């Protein structure tokens, strides 16, 4: 069974990047746009064709568009420049920048798998936005199962909770269910909908909501884990490390604010915990594998903007998760998965994370997958292989 989906809801983690490059063409900086901003005609070599971003300079939506064989930013819906005349004098006509792109999913969660689950879809965990919803999957025949709270990737600019039904994430969902672990797939507000720290606030709202309503849905409120890939991995780590500590990711009027947000474990798939060192690692350890998505070293982040700007430093520092490790009474068990050929998020971010957890006297398990790319099959397979270990750990908890 094959299904096509709009790119902005793509489930293929091979296309996810925690920061999407917006590097301009060096020869086109007299167009009135800031240097670190998409502009008509500037190249977008590190984004996939069809990727959309909203300009922080003028609020217009730009699409990475193939123009005469080169990927360039173009304003969504605007006529494309006329191509050079062909040998017979025809220019080929005027087209417009694409309004969307579709991809083909290689795997769709089958009915036979869904038959093994009790499913609650589009459960609202907050009321500020219709984006604040979660799908809950429970293994049938398992009483009071532990819960994996999964946040999708997408560089904070695309993806949704339905990603759990497709491709590698669907296969992981099947493995979680097979091992008696319930899954909550969380949707959250994207960066173009609400700026930092909204995505993180939504992740914390979801954790507290799920614990406060555990009895209603039938999972164990004492056995929670967070997990995700890429940007979703950051949100998973954020939820695990901030836990019950005060942070910018708390929502003051959350009706469940006094409910514990602590978790017992986290599955971090090619994520990061510190945006400053993430940018620095891409410069210090340049990636040479041009087959992976978003290669290069661009300091522009979709959640903040240019991380080099002094005015943004307080927000970026508040998103650094390492200081929260010191304030945890119990550090969650951290499973870290990263491909050695990942050009979107450096493997050194995960190496750094493992060291920080160990330094704080926590337990981390680092799995570096040789030749693995960002969201690649081998990395996802390694994570799936470790799900039974997570189940055993849950079983050991009182």
For 77-134, what is each residue's pLDDT tens digit?
888 876 544 434 444 444 454 445 455 689 999 999 999 999 999 999 999 999 999 9
Q: In this structure, is residue 75 part of a structural domain?
A: no
**Domain residues for 147?**
111-396
pTM above 0.75, yes or no: yes
Q: Is residue 128 part of a domain?
A: yes
326 CB neighbour count, 10 Å cutoff: 12
Domain count, the chain: 1
Cis, peptide link before residue 99, omega less than 30° from 0: no
Measured CA angle at 335 (ends 137, 372), to 5 deg: 95
Residue 25 domain-assigned? no
| Structural contact between residues 71 and 64, judged by C-beta atoms closer than 8 angstroms | yes
Instruction: Please indicate, yes or no, if residue 218 is contained in any of the structural domains.
Output: yes
- pLDDT value of residue 132: 98
Q: Does 161 map to a domain?
A: yes
Give residue 100's pLDDT: 52
205 found inside a domain = yes
Q: Residue ranges of the chain with pLDDT lower than 50?
A: 1-30, 45-46, 84-95, 97-99, 101, 294-297
Instruction: Give the pLDDT confidence score for residue 391 in this predicted structure.
Output: 99
Is residue 219 one of the residues assigned to a domain?
yes
Give the tens place of pLDDT for each residue, 162-191: 999 999 999 999 999 999 999 999 999 998
CATH number of residue 291's parent domain:
3.40.50.1820
Other beta carbons within 10 angstroms of residue 87's beta carbon come to 5
Assigned domain for 95 exists? no
């Amino acid at each position: 069974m094959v299904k096509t989906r709009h790119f902005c809801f793509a489930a293929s983690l091979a296309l996810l990047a925690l920061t999407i490059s917006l590097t301009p063409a060096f020869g086109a900086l007299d167009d009135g746009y800031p240097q670190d901003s998409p502009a008509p005609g500037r190249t977008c070599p590190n984004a996939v064709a069809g990727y959309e971003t909203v300009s922080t300079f003028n609020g217009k939506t730009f699409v990475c568009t193939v123009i005469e064989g080169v990927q360039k930013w173009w304003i969504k819906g605007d006529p494309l420049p006329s191509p050079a005349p062909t040998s017979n004098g025809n220019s080929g006509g005027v087209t417009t920048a694409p309004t969307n792109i579709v991809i083909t999913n290689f795997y769709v969660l089958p009915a036979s798998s869904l038959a093994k689950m009790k499913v609650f879809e589009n459960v609202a965990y907050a009321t500020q936005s219709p984006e604040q919803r979660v799908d809950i999957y429970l293994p049938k025949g398992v009483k009071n199962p532990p819960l994996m709270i999964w946040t999708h990737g997408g560089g904070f600019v695309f993806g949704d909770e339905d990603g759990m039904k497709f491709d590698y994430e669907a296969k992981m969902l099947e493995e979680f269910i097979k091992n008696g672990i319930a899954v909550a797939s969380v949707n959250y507000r994207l960066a173009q909908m609400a700026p930092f720290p909204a995505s993180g606030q939504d992740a914390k709202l979801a954790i507290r909501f799920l614990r406060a309503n555990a009895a209603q849905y039938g999972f164990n409120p004492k056995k929670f884990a967070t997990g995700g890939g890429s940007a979703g991995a950051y949100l998973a780590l954020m939820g695990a490390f901030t836990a019950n500590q005060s942070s910018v990711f708390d929502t003051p009027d959350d009706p469940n604010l006094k409910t514990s947000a602590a978790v017992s474990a986290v599955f971090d798939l090619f994520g990061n915990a510190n945006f400053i060192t993430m940018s620095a690692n891409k410069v210090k350890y340049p990636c040479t594998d041009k087959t992976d998505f978003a290669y290069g070293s661009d300091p522009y982040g979709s959640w903040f903007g240019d991380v080099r700007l002094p005015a943004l430093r307080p927000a970026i520092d508040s998103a650094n998760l390492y200081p929260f490790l010191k304030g945890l009474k119990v550090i969650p068990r951290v499973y870290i998965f990263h491909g050695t050929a990942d050009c979107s998020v450096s493997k050194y971010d995960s190496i750094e994370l493992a060291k920080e957890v160990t330094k704080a006297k926590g337990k981390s398990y680092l799995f570096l997958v040789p030749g693995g790319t960002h969201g690649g099959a081998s990395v996802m397979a390694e994570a799936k292989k470790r799900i039974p270990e997570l189940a055993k750990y849950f079983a050991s908890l009182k």
